[in-house]
Chains A and B, each alone.
Chain A
Amino acid sequence: MAIQFERVGYQYTGIDERGYMALSDVSLKIDKTGEFITLIGETGSGKTTLAKHMNALFLPSEGRMSIFGLKLSKDTKKNKKVKLNPIRQKVGLVFQFPEYQLFEETVLKDIIFGPKNFGVKHEAAVRKAEEIIEVVGLDKSYLERSPFNLSGGEKKRVSIAGILAMEPDILVFDEPTSGLDPLGRRALLKVFYDIHERLDKTVIIITHDMDTVYEYAKRVLVMREGVLVYDGAPEQLFSRKNIENWNLETPEILKIVKGLEEKLSITLKDTPRSREKLLEALKEVA
């Protein structure tokens, strides 16, 4: 098990009050490979706080964690011998709007910045960058360009390439597609899926987009007021009656599928989860 949470709680401390529990009693396990997880829940439910624990940016105030064998608890901070840097390399965390963190003159320099910081030789880092830039769906000519003249979607890809270049086993993306136009969103989701499928990495995406959850996720984590209220497959999640209480919506595709069943008594073969599959299935019954 790459990441393990055992009854983890996290307390934020405010200035004017005693603070509040942003996480309570969270237990979960995440595999090193093969997982495609979406982490969902209303704003303020603790999604980002949970993600920040996954690469030890935050340490639990209650309970215990283990990340790639390293044991973490509230006492870890006091123990100077514990090195957190190796974890940061193994679990890459991509914040919201990573494009704001681009700062070098060229895309190449931005991508190799991380690996060089972790001691990779210049030539090796450049070779890696040439390979990675194509994984994120851009060609090599981008390497010599200034990151500041790129579109929003391109900038996001470059910053993701920078994280990929550090060769993490697990990638966590915090709302990676917000602000992108529909085509850009689709293209970026395809990149995540490729990272998962081709590079065999575990990908965790924080999102509010239920269509993304329904189409891509193998596993869904739902947070509600700091508590992990659901951990399982998307099909079962959306067949529950009370998802509105968790501030979730039914995915658009599922609305159509359910509507067809209820209003026209049409049942589609192999419940489709993408637009393309829905089109095909509809053709068969119509």
Chain B
Amino acid sequence: MFTIFEELITMNPMIEIKDVSFAYTQAKNVLQNINLEIKKGEWITILGHNGSGKSTLSKLLIGLLKAKTGTITVDGTELNENTVYDIRKKIGIVFQNPDNQFVGVTVRDDIAFGLENLQVEREEMIERIDTYAKRVGMFDFLNKEPQQLSGGQKQRVAIAGILAMNTDVIIFDEATAMLDPKGRRNIIGYMRELNKEGVTIITITHDMKEALESDRIVVLKDGEILKVDKSENILKDKHTLEQSNLELLLPIELMHYLEEEKIDNPMLKEFLWQSSLKE
């Protein structure tokens, strides 16, 4: 009996989205009838064209917006006015533009902001700030002001602020879109580490290499879920990706092309396949 009980707990999804619709105005639903379960410790990517509803969905998850219909349940608690603050202790979010989320006067203040809201003890707070500033390589910058930092550095501070809150889920809402290649690789590295430690990761992106890292991909189109599947399947699915203004990874596009042209060259195919894998 006990094992069954235990299994039931682990089967509980981290996030359950049920029949969710949302509209900014009366006229048109921006999200239409979204149903999705995200498991504990899962890494899920949300892909879709500009205006497909990706960011709206992430704002619904942290209760910045309220669904018109349907329910969102986080770790067994249904999201509503009474539970939103508890749920925000479980879900952190890193946005695209680092300039729009820097709230502190210095790096230290900025990382402290979320902890102050959680009323963490001072000693504990100092320790966490140091730990997470070190982790994102910003320890030497703790007394710096935001205007002295580059975009990538600000984004790392934002991540430290979220990490310090020890949330179960972190949403990266196009968090790498404005970064240089090294900055992007860094952030993807943190995502990997956190996911290994059991944090549920939701990445919203247009970057197929970032999507390649995740367990499953959700493709949105015009506010509806077009497809949900394992990442390796979606990344090969030219038809689905093209419907949502997305692009295949270059080696996979080349493989499709060879197939269309009926060119059968096993060595070439193997080379392209190897090139399409994670670096």
Q: Footprint of B on A, CB under 8 Å?
A: 14-16, 41-44, 96-97, 151-153, 175, 178-185, 208, 210, 247-249, 252-253, 255-256, 259-260, 263-264, 266, 275, 278-279, 282-283, 286
Other-chain residue from B48, B145, B178 in contact with A15 (beta carbon distance below 8 A): B145
| Contact in complex: B245, A184 (CB < 8 Å) | yes
State whether A43 and B275 are in contact (beta carbons under 8 Å apart), knowing that A182-B206, A182-B246, A183-B247 are contacts in the complex: no
- Give, as a whole number of angstroms, the nearest-CB distance from B148 to chain A: 6
Contact (A264, B50) CB under 8 Å given A43-B153, A178-B177, A256-B250? no
Is there an interface contact between B254 and A151, defined as CB atoms closer than 8 Å? no
Chain A residues positioned under 8 Å from B97 (CB to CB): 97
A and B contact pairs by CB, cutoff 8 A, 13 listed: A42-B182, A42-B183, A43-B151, A179-B96, A180-B50, A181-B245, A182-B206, A182-B246, A183-B245, A208-B181, A247-B182, A256-B251, A278-B254
Contacts of B182 in A (CB 8 A): 42, 247
On chain A, the residues within 8 Å of B265 by CB distance are 286
Q: Which 5 pairs show the lowest CB-CB distances between chains A and B?
A: A44-B150, A183-B245, A182-B247, A43-B150, A43-B152
Could you say which residues of chain B place their CB within 8 Å of the CB of A279?
Answer: 253-254, 257
Do the beta carbons of A264 and B267 come within 8 Å of each other? yes
B163 close to chain A: CB less than 8 A: no
**Chain B residue with the shortest CB-CB distance to A41:** B180
**B226, CB-defined interface residue at 8 Å:** no
| Cα separation A7 to B153 with both chains bound (whole Å) | 28
Contacts A42-B183, A182-B245, A255-B275; is A286 near B253 (CB within 8 Å)?
no
Contact surface of B with A, Cβ cutoff 8 Å = 48-51, 96-97, 143, 145, 147-153, 174, 177-184, 206, 244-247, 250-251, 253-254, 257-258, 261, 263, 265, 267-268, 271-272, 275
The interface residues of chain A lying within 8 Å CB-to-CB of B267 are 264
Assess whether A179 is in contact with B178, with CB atoms less than 8 Å apart: yes
> How far apart sit A248 and B254, CA to CA, in the bound complex (Å)?
24
Q: Which residues of B contact A153 (CB under 8 A)?
A: 50
Measured between alpha carbons, how far is A182 from B48 in the docked complex, in Å?
Answer: 10
| Residues of chain A with a CB closer than 8 A to B184's CB | 208
Given contacts A96-B178, A278-B254, A283-B263, 20 further A-B contacts (CB under 8 A): A14-B145, A16-B145, A41-B180, A42-B152, A43-B151, A43-B152, A43-B153, A44-B149, A151-B50, A180-B206, A182-B206, A183-B245, A183-B246, A184-B50, A208-B181, A256-B254, A264-B267, A279-B254, A286-B261, A286-B263
By the criterion CB–CB under 8 Å, are B253 and A260 in contact?
no
Give the nearest-CB partner of B97 in chain A.
A97
Q: Is the CB of A253 within 8 A of B250?
A: yes
Which of A152, A181, A210, A252 is close to B246, meaning CB atoms less than 8 Å apart?
A: A181
Q: Choose from A184, A248, A278 the contact partner of B49 (Cβ within 8 Å).
A: A184
Closest Cβ of chain A: how far from B217's Cβ, in Å? Answer: 15
Whether the pair A264, B145 counts as a contact (CB closer than 8 A) is: no
Please measure, in the bound complex, the distance between the C-alpha atom of A191 and the C-alpha atom of B269, giving whole angstroms. 34
Closest to B49 in A: A181
Contact B250 A252 (CB under 8 A): yes
Find the B residue at minimum CB distance from A282: B254
Residues of chain A within 8 A (CB-CB) of B272 are 256
B258: chain A residues at CB < 8 Å are 282, 286
> With a CB–CB cut-off of 8 A, which chain A residues contact B263?
283, 286
Q: How far is the CB of B279 from chain A (nearest CB, A)?
A: 10
Residue of B nearest to A185 (CB): B206
**Taking each of B51, B143, B181, which has the highest tally of chain A beta carbons within 10 Å of its own beta carbon?**
B181
State in angstroms the CA–CA spacing of A266 and B261 once bound together.
Answer: 19
- For B244, the closest partner residue in chain A by CB is A181
- The minimal Cβ–Cβ distance linking A276 to chain B, given in whole angstroms, is 10
Residues of B within 8 A of A208 (CB): 179-181, 184
Chain A residue numbers with a CB within 8 Å of B180 are: 41-43, 208, 247
Does B49 contact A183, Cβ atoms closer than 8 Å?
yes
Question: Which B-chain residue is minimally distant from A44 (CB atoms)?
Answer: B150
Q: Which residue of A lies closest to B246 (CB)?
A: A182
Quick check: B174 and A43 within 8 Å, CB to CB? no
B104 CB to closest chain A CB (Å) equals 15
- The one of B49, B143, B257 in contact with A16, judged by C-beta atoms closer than 8 angstroms, is B143
Distance in angstroms from A63 CB to nearest chain B CB is 23
**Least distance between B204 CB and chain A CB atoms (Å):** 11
The residue on B at minimum CB distance from A179 is B177
Partner of A256, one of B149, B261, B275: B275
Contact in complex: A282, B257 (CB < 8 Å): yes
Residue of A nearest to B48 (CB): A181
CB distance from B240 to the nearest CB of A (A): 14
A248: chain B residues within 8 A (beta carbon): 181
Chain A positions within 8 Å of B271 at CB level? 259-260, 263-264
Instruction: Give the distance to chain B from A213, nearest Cβ to Cβ, in Å.
Output: 11
Cα A14 to Cα B151 in complex, Å, equals 17
CA distance A264 to B272 in the complex (A): 11
Measured CB to CB, the closest approach of chain A to B60, in angstroms, equals: 19
Contacts of B48 in A (CB 8 A): 181
Most buried by A among B152, B180, B258: B180
